[in-house]
Structure 1
Amino acid sequence: MARRALVAYGTKNGSTQGIAEAVAAALRTHTVETEVHPASEVEDVSPYDLVVLGGALYAGRWHRDAVRFARRHRAALLERAVWLFSSGPLDASATQRDIPPVRGARRAAAHLDARRHVTFGGRLEAGAQGRMARMIVESGRGGDYRDFDRIAAWATGIAEECAAEAQLR
């Protein structure tokens, strides 16, 4: 029986959406029926067996749409398998070591009994919204630090974990 997954995300400049879509693509290759939606637009998580929630990092904070999603759907999410990710470091640090979740993501993980959290590198390029984002790009510290092989491997781990659990039932 195919499992249904939701990948929800909070993003400002699209980097986290790209990661969410990559997670969904990897899940689909393992026969997990997957939908991707902005966290702010999800009204009901009951159709899904598992949920992956991602949030962009801004000034050491998890994106407010991810925080609000976790709070709004807490009761239903406690009945599902949940994984979390953050995106944001504008350097190679996320591929070199595990980066602990920021406060908002850490609280969501605890309140939702999330299986795992991971931080992926982010992307910030010309045309970014926000004064600080533009200043970062103009100073030459922008770029794309997303590691799509690592993202796919993480999502494959989710699919494999779900498949193993399904066999035990």
Structure 2
Amino acid sequence: MPGTRLLIAYGSKHGATQGIADELGEALRSVGVDAVVMPADRVSDVSDYDGVILGGAVYAGRWHVEARRCASRHAAELRKRPVWLFSSGPVDDSAERRDIPPVRGVARWMQRLGAREHITFGGALTEHTPGLIAHSMVRQGKGGDFRNPERIRRWADHIASQLRSAG
């Protein structure tokens, strides 16, 4: 696995999904994977990577536009390498209690790209999240940070083990 380069690209509106991508990158680097984390809209080429993790926040049942655009722009190259997808978004503990399947659009991308798997992580809605609706929800007690760093690290370890067995 040394020498394995993995791209972690994300579409994030307010930073929670970026935090998940950063946590994945840190966990993978700790086990020897050369993990590069970047916003999906900055990805210009995926051909230098041995695998790709692509994630996006889900809003109103749709995956983040930059994650969708990245998948579309690089579909041909993504189909040639291992790909994993993740979503973030539930601002409750539902992602901890059960496996949340991908929304319809992400399920289609899984099929188009031949993705190995998808996972949904909890999102975050805190007093630092911009926007009137977000602030109102937080004031009503409907906010919180539902990202679970341990669950994120476990998924990173799972991906690292798949990379090891493929190499």
Q: Provide TM-score, normalisation by structure 1.
A: 0.94
* Structure 2 CA distance for aligned equivalents of residues 34 and 19 of structure 1: 13
1:110 alignment partner in structure 2: 111
* RMSD, matched Cα: 1.1
Question: SS of 1:106's equivalent?
Answer: helix
2:95 alignment partner in structure 1: 94
After TM superposition, give the deviation of residue 138 of structure 1 in Å.
2.8
**Unaligned regions of 5+ residues in structure 2, if any?**
none
Question: SS of 1:107's equivalent?
Answer: helix
1:38 alignment partner in structure 2: 39
Q: Indicate if the aligned counterparts of 1:10 and 1:65 stay in contact, CA closer than 8 A.
A: yes
1:47 alignment partner in structure 2: 48
* Structure 2 CA distance for aligned equivalents of residues 93 and 106 of structure 1: 19
Which structure 2 residues correspond to residues 127-166 of structure 1 after superposition, within 5 A? 127-166=128-167
* Structure 2 CA distance for aligned equivalents of residues 2 and 81 of structure 1: 16
Q: Indicate if the aligned counterparts of 1:12 and 1:129 stay in contact, CA closer than 8 A.
A: no
After TM superposition, give the deviation of residue 131 of structure 1 in Å.
4.0
After TM superposition, give the deviation of residue 127 of structure 1 in Å.
3.3
**Unaligned regions of 5+ residues in structure 1, if any?**
none
Which structure 2 residues correspond to residues 54-69 of structure 1 after superposition, within 5 A? 54-69=55-70
Question: SS of 1:158's equivalent?
Answer: helix
**114-123 or 57-66, which deviates more:** 57-66
* Structure 1 CA distance for aligned equivalents of residues 23 and 6 of structure 2: 13
* Structure 2 CA distance for aligned equivalents of residues 113 and 130 of structure 1: 36
* Structure 2 CA distance for aligned equivalents of residues 28 and 15 of structure 1: 20
What is the number of equivalent residue pairs in this alignment? 166
Task: Give the share of equivalent positions with the same residue, in percent.
Answer: 52
